[in-house]
Amino acid sequence: MTDIGNNRLMIAFDEPRARGTGLLVPFITAGYPDLQTTVELLKDFERRGVKVCELGVPFSDPVADGPTIQASYTDALTAGVNSNAIFQAVRRWRDDGGAMALLAMVSYSIVYRHGLEEYLRAAKNAGFDGVIIPDLSLEEADKVESACRELNLANVMLVAPTTPPDRRLEIARHCSGFIYFISVAGITGERSRLPDATIAAVAELRKHTETPVCVGFGISSPEMVRTVCKVADGAIVGSAIVHRITDNKDLPRDELVKLVGDFVGELMAPLS
């Protein structure tokens, strides 16, 4: 595990690990349906007890996102949302008292275009605690890991069901904050259950690393959150949340935020 000191992300796992429970890690698209709604959702999630949240940085060619998240990215990009606007929104949220850990899920293409050190420094200054770069290869991980460590940012990397066991351990050695275990091969999207093989693989990986392991892709219900957190340190829910934003995005902002927040509260219920 990479040592990055005690940033908010690392601290977030201390209490649930001591209690033997897991964390819910919601994912929302930054700027969907607009950046002020994103800020209000972050505030609502934190009031409900969320400790870690992921913000997806819209990208025109997402790596593994299903149609729900792809459509949200397209809408946000059409509205002019970009990294600089997201950084400004996150800074407003932090300045207004936002304290939970926040991760940017961002394509390496965006990071590379800005410049690795420049992008990470801007993310840090805005108030992010780490990055998830889903298209970051293991071969490129050293320089990203080093740059993140200099800024006390977490470098969260993905492990797939098809990743060989020895390569999973190598990826884990480059991770900080947590390891993102993809529950199923393919793209994001809501599913009714997770493969038994995924649960077994997560349990096996946790025997070999002290870094928390969170499971994402396909988790869509409180029951699935409960199942995942019996063996993992956290359950990541994205498409099911973004789906509810899409279904209600024409409502007044406060109504939308409450509806989505209520769903997040339901997802957290098994962990209380």
Q: From CA 124, how far away is CA 136, in angstroms rounded?
A: 19
**Is 65 annotated in the active site?**
yes
Confirm whether 262 is a catalytic residue.
no
Of residues 40, 44, 54, 75, which has the active-site annotation?
54
- How far apart CA 58 and CA 181 sit, in angstroms, is 21
Q: Please return the burial class of 2, using the count of CB atoms within 10 Å of its CB with bins 0-12, 13-18 and 19+.
A: middle
Q: Which of 34, 44, 61, 65 is catalytic?
A: 65
Burial class (CB in 10 A: 0-12, 13-18, 19+), 82: middle
Residue of 122, 54, 59, 118 whose CA lies nearest to 87: 122
Q: Which helix (H) or strand (E) holds 105?
A: strand 101-105
Q: Kindly write down the DSSP assignment for every residue of 227-243, as one continuous string.
A: HHHTTSSEEEE-HHHHH
Structure-token pair, residue 249: 């995005």
| Residues labelled as active-site residues | 54, 65
